[in-house]
Structures are given as structure tokens and as C-alpha cells.
């Protein structure tokens, strides 16, 4: 199979989401290849993993250049993720590649993502009410070694068993473990730690999988420039734009993992986009009207200069209301 224009275009959309949010790659790319382009599941999984070895370092390089990566945090996550990825591959072999076992894991992951997306919405509401902002510096953050390693272990195990990325779940866990950091900073850190994890998984795919290099090339051609653009946006965009995008992609990934078919999923997510756009316009319009209709502040009488043709009027004070004796 040679280059496919449709696979290139579809990969560009997914690549943009990966660069923007650090999530959704495995959950969206592999089902797209299987359901829309009739690629065999084993070939879709293996080809996606090999393409990710080229795709994710591009996004990581952008964030490293912008200074939105904590390399010590990356090291701690890698310490947990790479060994657990191999353990997951071993467990998958022990299950004899059981589709039932993988489906149970994916459904559990999907449920966790849906709960996590709901928790992110709740967290956003609470942060807005309290006025709390994520203003911490990624390089100055106080690391929490044990939770960070555990996050890497969870993500690595999921990659090993299901052969798909766990960036969505890891982003959720990072957002709650480091509440003062912006989403863009955590996206950069997650993309960077995914490089060695994806390389380990791709090595297994090349050894034991069924890679279709035409599919892999199409994914690379479409996704790499899109990941570059998405990473540039996420490294610069304000947190209030990145967090809704992450929540949207995680919610879509969760629905896909629990088994929602592609077309209903498209209608649901399209409806959410329309509802979100309508809400944004409804909130924006009153602000513009208030900005246009706000009267100009009147000058106080005492502020009239004497050169205007007379003595300035004396400003009234509360003492003027006191009756004379």
C-alpha cells in the first residue's frame, strides 16, 4: 500500500490534536485507520506506533525549545513507564493476545477517561469560582517523585497491554498532581516522556507486529507538520484555551474506548462543539455590549480649569448639608 491522501488528511487532524493537547493519538488514530480506511487492526496498531516514533519527538522538540518541559519529571515518568510497557507486553502474551482481555482493559480505560474529563470540568468550575490560576513555573515546580513514577507506570502498563497511547489518562493525572502548572506546560512534559515510551513500544511492533510501511508513511506525512503546528500553539496559548481542548479530546477518547461507534461519536462531539460555540458567543456578546454602551466618566466640577472663563466651582462636601448656627 502506497501513500493515501485520505490517510494523510486524517492523520493531520489527529496530529494537530496530539500537538495541541498531548492526548488522543492512540485513541483516535488507530480507530480511524481501522474503521474509515479498512486497515487491519494489527497493521493499524503497529503502523501507528512506528509513525509515533517520528511524530512525538517533533512536538517534544518544540516544547523543549519553548522551555515548557521539566526533564526531571520526564525522567521520573520514564522510570515507571518503560519497564511497565514491557511488563504489559508480557501480560498480553500470557493472555495469548486475547481480544476479550484487551477489550476489558480498554473499557476500564475509557471509563477512567470519562470520569477524568468530568473531574477536569469540575476542577475548572472550582478554580474559576476561587479565582485560582495555574501560574507555576515548570522548571521551579517541587516534584512529587512517587506519584510521578506511578503515573508513568500506569501509562506504560496500558501501552503494553492495549498497544495504544495512554496520554489522555496521564495528562489527567498530571493536572491533578501538579495543580499550579498550566496545561500547556504539562502537555510539553507528557509529549517528551512519550518519546522513549513510544520507542520501546514501536520496537516491539517492528519485532512482533505487522507494520504496513505505506500506512506508516502516510501517517508521518500528515501528522508531523500538524503536530508541529499544534505544539507551537499549545506552548504559547493561554491555559483557558488549552484546558477545554484537552477535556474535549479526552472525552472523545473515553467514549471511543467504551465502544461508542464512530458515526454516533462524531454526532455527539459535533453537538458539543456547537453547544460550546453558542455558549462562547452568548458570553462574548454581553461583554461587547457593555464595552460599547459604557458612558464616559464626567468631569467633576472642581476639575474645570480656571482658564475656561471663571473661578472653579467648589466641590460639595458633607459639611455643606450642616445647617448654619
Q: Encode pLDDT of 239-259 as tens digits.
A: 677 778 777 877 887 787 788
Q: What is the pLDDT of residue 285?
A: 65
d(CA 258, CA 203) in angstroms, rounded, equals 28
Task: Give me the DSSP letters along 25-70.
Answer: HHHHHHHIIIIIH---HHHHHHHHHHHHHHHHHHHHHHHHHHT---
pLDDT of 188: 81
* Residue 319 clears pLDDT 60, i.e. is over it: no
Distance CA 4, CA 323 (A): 92
Amino acid 1: pLDDT:
57
* 144-156 tens-digit pLDDT: 999 999 999 988 8
Nearest to 113 by CA among 169, 155, 152, 157: 169
Q: What confidence tier does 109 reach under pLDDT thresholds 50, 70, 90?
A: low
Most confident of 56-70, 129-143, 294-308: 56-70
Mean pLDDT over each residue of the chain, to the nearest integer: 75
Give the pLDDT confidence score for residue 325 in this predicted structure: 46
Residue 301 pLDDT > 60? no
pLDDT at 296 over 70: no
Q: What angle do CA 311, 316, 317 make, to 5 degrees?
A: 135
pLDDT score, position 316: 47
Q: 168, 81, 56: which is closest to 119 by C-alpha?
A: 168
Beta strands in the chain (DSSP E): none
pLDDT at position 78, please? 92
Whole-number pLDDT of residue 307? 45
Q: Is the predicted pLDDT of residue 318 greater than 70, yes or no?
A: no
pLDDT in tens, 164-183: 556 667 877 888 888 877 77
Q: Which residues contact 291 (CB under 8 A, 6 or more apart)?
A: none
Question: For residue 83, is pLDDT > 90?
Answer: no
Q: What mean pLDDT do residues 100-123 have?
A: 71
Percent of the chain with pLDDT over 90: 8
pLDDT in the model for residue 70: 87
C-alpha 235/C-alpha 189 separation (Å) is: 11
The dihedral region occupied by 128, where left means phi > 0, alpha psi between -120 and 50, and beta the remainder, is alpha
Crossing angle of the two packed helices 99-130 and 145-162, in degrees rounded to 10: 140
Residue in this structure with the C-alpha cell 493519538, named with its chain if needed: 25
The whole-number pLDDT of residue 288 equals 61
With a threshold of 0.75, does the pTM exceed it? no
Which three cell numbers mark 240? Answer: 483557558
Q: How many of the other CB atoms lie within 10 Å of CB of 297?
A: 6
In this prediction, residue 186 carries a pLDDT of 79
Amino acid at each position: 500500500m502506497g501513500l493515501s491522501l485520505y490517510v494523510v488528511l486524517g492523520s493531520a487532524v489527529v496530529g494537530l490534536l496530539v500537538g495541541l493537547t498531548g492526548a488522543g493519538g492512540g485513541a483516535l488514530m488507530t480507530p480511524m485507520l481501522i474503521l474509515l480506511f479498512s486497515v487491519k487492526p494489527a497493521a493499524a496498531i503497529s503502523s501507528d506506533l512506528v509513525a509515533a516514533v517520528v511524530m512525538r519527538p517533533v512536538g517534544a522538540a518544540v516544547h523543549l525549545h519553548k522551555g515548557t518541559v521539566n526533564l526531571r519529571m520526564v525522567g521520573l515518568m520514564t522510570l515507571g513507564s518503560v519497564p511497565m510497557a514491557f511488563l504489559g507486553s508480557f501480560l498480553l502474551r500470557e493472555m495469548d493476545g486475547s481480544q476479550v482481555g484487551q477489550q476489558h482493559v480498554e473499557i476500564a480505560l475509557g471509563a477512567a477517561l470519562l470520569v477524568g474529563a468530568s473531574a477536569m470540568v469540575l476542577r475548572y468550575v472550582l478554580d474559576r469560582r476561587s479565582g485560582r490560576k495555574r501560574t507555576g513555573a515548570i522548571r521551579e515546580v517541587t516534584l512529587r517523585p512517587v506519584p510521578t513514577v506511578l503515573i508513568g507506570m500506569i501509562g506504560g502498563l496500558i501501552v503494553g497491554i492495549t498497544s495504544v497511547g495512554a496520554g489522555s489518562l496521564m495528562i489527567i493525572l498530571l493536572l491533578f498532581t501538579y495543580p499550579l502548572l498550566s496545561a500547556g506546560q504539562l502537555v510539553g512534559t507528557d509529549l517528551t516522556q512519550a518519546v522513549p515510551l513510544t520507542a520501546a513500544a514501536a520496537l516491539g511492533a517492528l519485532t512482533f507486529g505487522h507494520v504496513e510501511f505505506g500506512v506508516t508513511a502516510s501517517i508521518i506525512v500528515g501528522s508531523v507538520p500538524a503536530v508541529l503546528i499544534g505544539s507551537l500553539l499549545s506552548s504559547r496559548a493561554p491555559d483557558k484555551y488549552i484546558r477545554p481542548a484537552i477535556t474535549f479530546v479526552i472525552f472523545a477518547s473515553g467514549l471511543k474506548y467504551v465502544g461508542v461507534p464512530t458515526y454516533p461519536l462524531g454526532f455527539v462531539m459535533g453537538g458539543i462543539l456547537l453547544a460550546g460555540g453558542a455558549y462562547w458567543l452568548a458570553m462574548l456578546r454581553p461583554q461587547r455590549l457593555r464595552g460599547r454602551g459604557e458612558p464616559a466618566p464626567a468631569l467633576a466640577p472642581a476639575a474645570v480649569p480656571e482658564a475656561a472663563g471663571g473661578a472653579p466651582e467648589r466641590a460639595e462636601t458633607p459639611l455643606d448639608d450642616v445647617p448654619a448656627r
